[in-house]
Homo-oligomer: A and B are copies of this chain.
Amino acid sequence: MAAGPNAKGLTMIEIPARCGKATRLGAGQCVRVINTFGQQVVDTWAFNAADIGEFMSMEHTRIAIERIIPQVGDALVTNRRRPILRLIDDTSGGIHDTLVAACDRWRYELLGCPTYHANCTDNLAAALGEMGVAPPETPAPLNLFMNIPVIDGNRIAVVPPISTPGSYVTLRAEMDCLVAFSACPQDMVPINGAAMTPTAAHFEVLG
């Protein structure tokens, strides 16, 4: 499924497997992130369009919502504690992650990969780079569809997503922002499903 208008006339944008893609949202616009093939984690970031130093922050969001995993209705807040995105719809089963860093070249080196491995950290930089913007840092992402259960209040595990093909989340921009996505290239642990085969995902900007 490549980019192109769908039945509703909305343009479906591909986040190619192992790659990143960014878009600009005006306050009030929504983006639907579709787990096209069902078990693909999509790392997600948001930056204030007027001030790249203000961005969605998981450590500020957790205390704001008093939960580890946002649910429908919750606002994701920035490092200035202001709402930047709001989760307004979720057909994926509601399992996402806020605990774990974006993968990076060091992650794959530690897993034993002897050569360069595509990774979400570099994908963020590339996606924003296409818009002429450099991220000031790599904030901890909202890992859509990623399944990191917390066991006995402390231990965490890395397990496959529960999301199904075509399921999605919808995020509403609470301020003008740049939103970046990475279809996680992880193929050395089963975070993108037991087959460990990263796939594309898609998004469409609504209204």
Q: Interface code A146-176, partner B: CB below 8 Å = 1, 0 otherwise?
A: 0001110111111000000000000000000
Q: Are B137 and A66 in contact (CB under 8 A)?
A: no
Check if A29 is an interface residue, CB within 8 A of chain B: no
Considering the chains assembled together, what is the distance between the CA atoms of A144 and B110 in angstroms? 28
| Total interface residues in chain A, CB < 8 Å | 34
Copies in the complex: 2
In the complex, besides A81-B110, A137-B137, 19 extra interface pairs with C-beta distance below 8 angstroms are: A57-B101, A58-B59, A59-B99, A59-B100, A59-B140, A62-B99, A62-B100, A66-B155, A66-B157, A68-B99, A68-B155, A81-B104, A81-B107, A82-B106, A99-B99, A140-B140, A149-B153, A150-B153, A150-B154
